[in-house]
């Protein structure tokens, strides 16, 4: 049964147990997660996550910015998948505005989102394996991640905080040579996944540390709000990209890997197979990339081209107005969810008709996924806690916002 | 692409499974409904939110078995001032619905849904932390993100963006 009574773990309830503090400065808590454990010997009796060490008040800051100025803030929420955040926010505002996005921009968004997913999963795989003691996987993963970061740098000028999507399309045309570099990477990458799998999947030590560890049933995972690979590892076949498609995902062919075991190994297998599916989608996006504009035809919302600004009066006026006073968004509210590498990422944007959002709320997949941790870990060893934290792939920036 | 106008007439929205179910159960519970930008919002009377959630979760035709999110909006200086917003998802039917509860500004409180979806635990604590809305029946309603001894509720509209100096 799911963990229903989140009683505070402050004092040991029995004589034989003691309280152990883990984090916030701890190498395997993936940031600044603090766990308060009540332990009996090496067995965890109760657990309480303590969060908030990275709270920056981004939701409040958003209310003081123009709609376009919020995009760079969204990068900083989940810093391992900035483009997914950009996409989710832009889709929400585009839905509020009723904007139609040209096909090339949509396909570029899918292409970059799948690269982001690979990027995020590589960081997860490297650090997860490092936590459990497989040092070399980390180095392998970061070698390929470097290639992806170079691709991001090519399109956006930034390796990590890309802010490449704009409300209404993309910031810039992808540069000459980008697609060749991306295709080169997509051709090389499947053999690299084989390398990671050679190191881990059949490895007896890896299997002993992950199989049957930190189990969670599908009912518990659903009740606790888990999503993404954490939910699919327990056998619930749900992926927003396939089931509630956005940004042309319905045009792509891909399988949604699921596993029914619900343990650390199941979640590992889901993510590793997602790496293969994502690179196949990158291939499809490169093969079928449509031609055409990268920005919507909405002069009051989308910044004009530089060339037009120098030759057309209207373009110059619109540019000045968008930069100085933003653009008004019709009153209303929208909840837009996308499948981030960690699960359902949702943006709830409320507009009161002015140029600044009235409320921006981010539904953080990690926050809900973290709630499954006590259910996974109680009654198991402290060493399994480290494996469990790695397997739900948390990013504290997203949890605390 | 101009936006189609929002539909607010309850009669026209009766065919939606969630609204039909709620109206059949208790017409008093549904205060208002709104279909805008392909999303449905239902305003629920604050006294009925718990029962309405149970009803929607256990609805055999369209079970909303996944609580996506709980959030809040502060409409200062309007009264009722707060709107607590629940986003439900039906994984089998691929359907979303948004429930809303209006609360007065004086001492906002609403029933907790943690016993229906344990997922609400952190979501409700976050709303309590940042808006000061109390959730009666929550097993451990303490600040989640801000320090324990923090004064004020940062996401309220009368709280300055720079904080109190």
Q: Is A240 near chain B, with CB under 8 Å?
A: no
Chain B residues near residue A4 by CB distance under 8 angstroms? 114-115, 118, 139
The alpha-carbon gap from A236 to the nearest alpha carbon of chain B, in Å, equals 9
| In the predicted structure, residue A11 carries a pLDDT above the cut 90 | no
* Least confident span in A48-57, A248-257, A306-315, B23-32: B23-32
**Mean pLDDT of all residues in A162-181:** 89
Q: Which of A52, A60, A243 sits opposite B155 (nearest CB)?
A: A60
Q: Is residue B93 part of a domain?
A: yes
Residue to mutate among A73, A244, A361, A394, with most B CBs inside 10 A, is: A361
Q: Which of residues 40-99 of B touch A (CB under 8 A)?
A: 41, 65-69, 71, 73-74, 85, 87, 89, 91, 94, 96, 98
CATH assignment of the domain containing B49: 3.30.460.80
B106 DSSP assignment: S
List, for residues A95-140, the tens digit of each pLDDT value: 999 888 999 999 999 999 999 999 999 999 999 998 888 888 999 9
Question: pLDDT by residue (tens digit) across A42-90?
Answer: 888 888 888 888 888 899 999 999 998 999 999 888 888 899 999 999 9
Closest CA to A389 of A131, A199, A217: A131
Show the domains of chain A with their CATH numbers. Answer: 58-400 (1.10.645.10)
* Rounded Cα distance, A221 and A398, in Å: 19
Domain extent for B22: 17-136
Please say if the pLDDT value at position A24 is more than 90: no
Minimum-distance CB partner of B71 among A64, A361, A371:
A361
- A230-to-A221, A226, A376, B43 alpha-carbon distances in Å: 8, 6, 11, 32
Chain segment A188-201, per-residue pLDDT in tens: 999 999 989 988 88
Tens of pLDDT, residues B94-142: 889 999 999 988 888 999 998 888 889 899 999 999 999 999 988 888 8
Closest partner residue to B154 (CB to CB) among A60, A335, A346 is: A60
Which among A335, A346, A367 has CB closest to B122?
A367
Question: With bands split at pLDDT 50, 70 and 90, how would you rate the model's confidence at A1?
Answer: very low
Whether the predicted pLDDT of B163 surpasses 90: no
Least confident of A76-90, A148-162, A340-354, B29-43: B29-43
Using a CB–CB cutoff of 8 Å, tell me whether A193 touches chain B: no
Lowest mean pLDDT among A9-23, A183-197, A243-257, A366-380: A9-23
3-state SS class at A190: helix
Quick one: pLDDT at residue A39? 87
**Residue A64 near chain B (CB below 8 Å):** yes
Closest CA to A52 of A285, A328, A396, A357: A396
In a domain, B118, yes or no: yes
pLDDT mean over A244-267: 90
Within 8 A of B142 by CB-CB distance, chain A residues are 8
Q: From the candidates A33, A59, A60, which should be mutated to test the interface with B, based on the most B CB atoms within 10 A?
A: A60
Q: What is the mean predicted confidence (pLDDT) over A372-376?
A: 89
pLDDT-based confidence at A186, cuts 50/70/90? Answer: very high
Q: What is the 3-state secondary structure (H, E, C) of A376-398?
A: HHCCCEHHHHHHHHHHHCCCHHH
pLDDT score of B1 = 57
Q: Is A251 on the interface with B (CB under 8 A)?
A: no
**DSSP-H helix ranges across A33-70:** 58-62
Find the closest chain B residue to A221 by CA distance. B119
Given this model, what pLDDT does residue B126 score?
92
State whether residue B155 sits within 8 Å of chain A by CB: yes
Contact of B121 with chain A, judged by CB distance below 8 Å, is answered with yes
Å from A310 to nearest chain B CA? 28
Phi/psi of residue A194, each to 5°? -60, -40
Residue B153 lies in a domain: no
Which of B68, B154, B160 should we substitute to test contact with A (largest number of A Cβ atoms within 10 Å)?
A: B68
Reported ipTM: 0.91
Q: Which of A107-121, A268-282, B9-23, B24-38 has the lowest mean pLDDT?
A: B9-23
Q: What is the mean pLDDT of residues A262-277?
A: 91
Backbone angles phi, psi at A274, to 5 degrees: -65, -35
- Cβ–Cβ under 8 Å, residues A290 and A100: no
Query: Are the beta carbons of A328 and A350 closer than 8 angstroms?
Result: no
Q: Closest-CA residue in chain A for B85?
A: A348
Q: What is the mean pLDDT of chain A?
A: 88
Average pLDDT across chain B, whole number: 86
Q: Which residues of B touch A61 (CB under 8 A)?
A: 161
A358/chain B closest Cα distance in angstroms: 9
Give the per-residue pLDDT at A85.
92
Can you tell me the distance from the alpha carbon of B98 to that of B136, in angstroms, rounded to the nearest whole number?
21
Task: Enter the pTM of the model.
Answer: 0.91
Q: How far is B39 from chain A (nearest CA, A)?
A: 7
Q: Do B145 and A55 touch (CB under 8 A)?
A: yes
Residue A323 above 70 pLDDT?
A: yes
Overall average pLDDT of the A7-25 stretch:
75
Q: What is the pLDDT of residues A278-305, one digit of tens each?
A: 999 999 999 988 988 988 888 888 888 8
Q: Do B118 and A224 touch (CB under 8 A)?
A: yes
- Confidence check: pLDDT of A313 > 80: yes
Whether A98 and B3 lie within 8 Å, measured CB to CB: yes
Query: Which positions ≥6 away from A104 have C-beta within 8 Å?
Result: A289, A290, A291, A292, A293, A294
Give pLDDT, residue A7. Answer: 58
Q: From CA B85, how far away is CA B70, in angstroms rounded? A: 6
Task: Return the closest-CA partner of residue A345 out of A31, A99, A92, A114.
Answer: A92
Residue whose C-alpha is closest to residue A75's, from A183, A182, A4, A152: A152
Asked which of A4-18, A47-61, A312-326 is least confident by mean pLDDT, the reply is A4-18
Q: What is the predicted pLDDT for the residue at B151? A: 86
- Beta carbons within 10 angstroms of residue A357's beta carbon: 26
Is the CB of residue A276 less than 8 Å from the CB of residue A255? no
Chain B residues with CB under 8 Å of A330 CB are: 3
pLDDT of A8 > 80? The answer is: no
Residue A25 has pLDDT above 80, yes or no: no
Which residues of chain A neighbour B85 with C-beta distances below 8 Å? 348
A401/B145 touch (CB, cutoff 8 Å), yes or no: yes
Question: Helix (H, G, I), strand (E, B), or coil: what is residue A134?
Answer: coil
Domain count, chain B: 1
pLDDT level of residue B84 (50, 70, 90 thresholds): very high
User: So what's the pLDDT on residue A9?
Assistant: 64
């Amino acid at each position: 049964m799911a963990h229903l009574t989140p009683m505070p773990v402050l004092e040991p309830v029995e004589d034989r147990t003691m309280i152990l503090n883990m984090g916030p400065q701890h190498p395997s808590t993936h940031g600044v997660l603090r766990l308060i454990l009540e332990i009996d010997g090496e067995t965890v009796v109760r657990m309480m996550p303590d969060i908030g060490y990275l709270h920056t008040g981004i939701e409040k800051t958003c209310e003081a910015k123009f709609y376009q100025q919020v995009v760079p803030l969204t990068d900083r929420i989940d810093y391992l998948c900035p483009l997914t955040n950009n996409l989710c926010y832009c889709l929400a505002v585009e839905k509020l505005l009723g904007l139609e996005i040209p096909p090339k921009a949509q396909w570029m968004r899918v292409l970059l989102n799948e690269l982001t997913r690979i990027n995020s999963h590589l960081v997860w795989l490297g650090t997860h394996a490092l936590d459990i003691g497989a040092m070399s996987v980390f180095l392998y993963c970061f070698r390929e991640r470097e290639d992806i970061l170079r691709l991001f740098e090519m399109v956006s000028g930034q390796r990590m905080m890309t802010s490449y999507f704009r409300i209404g399309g993309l910031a810039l045309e992808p540069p000459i040579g980008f697609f060749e570099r991306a295709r080169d990477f997509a051709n090389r990458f499947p053999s690299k996944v084989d390398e990671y799998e050679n190191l881990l999947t059949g490895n007896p030590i890896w299997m002993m540390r992950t199989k049957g560890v930190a189990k969670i049933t599908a009912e518990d995972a659903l009740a606790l709000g888990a999503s993404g690979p954490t939910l699919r590892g327990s056998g619930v076949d749900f992926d927003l990209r396939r089931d509630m498609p956005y940004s042309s995902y319905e045009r792509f062919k891909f399988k949604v890997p699921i596993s029914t075991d619900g343990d650390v190994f199941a979640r590992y297998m889901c993510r590793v197979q997602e790496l293969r599916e994502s690179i196949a989608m990158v291939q499809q996006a490169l093969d079928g990339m449509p031609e055409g504009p990268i920005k919507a035809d909405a002069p009051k919302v989308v910044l004009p081209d530089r060339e037009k600004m120098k030759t057309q009066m209207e373009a110059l006026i619109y540019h000045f107005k968008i930069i100085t006073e933003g653009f008004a968004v019709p009153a209303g509210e929208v909840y837009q969810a996308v499948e981030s590498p960690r699960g359902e990422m949702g943006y709830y944007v409320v507009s009161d008709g002015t140029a600044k959002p009235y409320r921006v709320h981010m539904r953080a997949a990690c926050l809900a996924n973290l709630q499954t941790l006590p259910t996974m870990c109680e009654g198991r060893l402290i060493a399994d806690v480290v494996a469990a934290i790695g397997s739900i792939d948390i990013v504290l920036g997203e949890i605390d916002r | 692409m101009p936006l189609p106008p929002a539909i607010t007439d309850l009669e026209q929205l009766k065919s939606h499974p969630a609204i039909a179910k709620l109206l059949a159960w208790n017409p008093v519970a549904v205060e208002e409904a709104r279909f805008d930008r392909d999303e449905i919002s239902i305003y629920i009377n604050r006294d009925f939110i718990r029962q309405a959630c149970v009803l929607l979760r256990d609805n055999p035709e369209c079970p909303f078995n996944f609580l996506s999110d709980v959030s809040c909006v502060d409409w200062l200086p309007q009264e009722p001032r707060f709107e607590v917003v629940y986003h439900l998802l039906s994984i089998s039917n691929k359907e979303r619905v948004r429930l809303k509860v209006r609360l007065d500004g004086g001492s906002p409180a609403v029933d907790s849904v943690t016993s229906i979806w344990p997922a609400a635990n952190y979501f409700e604590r976050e709303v309590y932390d940042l808006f000061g809305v109390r959730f009666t029946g929550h097993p451990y309603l303490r600040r989640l993100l801000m320090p324990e001894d923090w004064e004020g509720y940062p996401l309220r509209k009368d709280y300055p963006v720079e904080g109190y100096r």
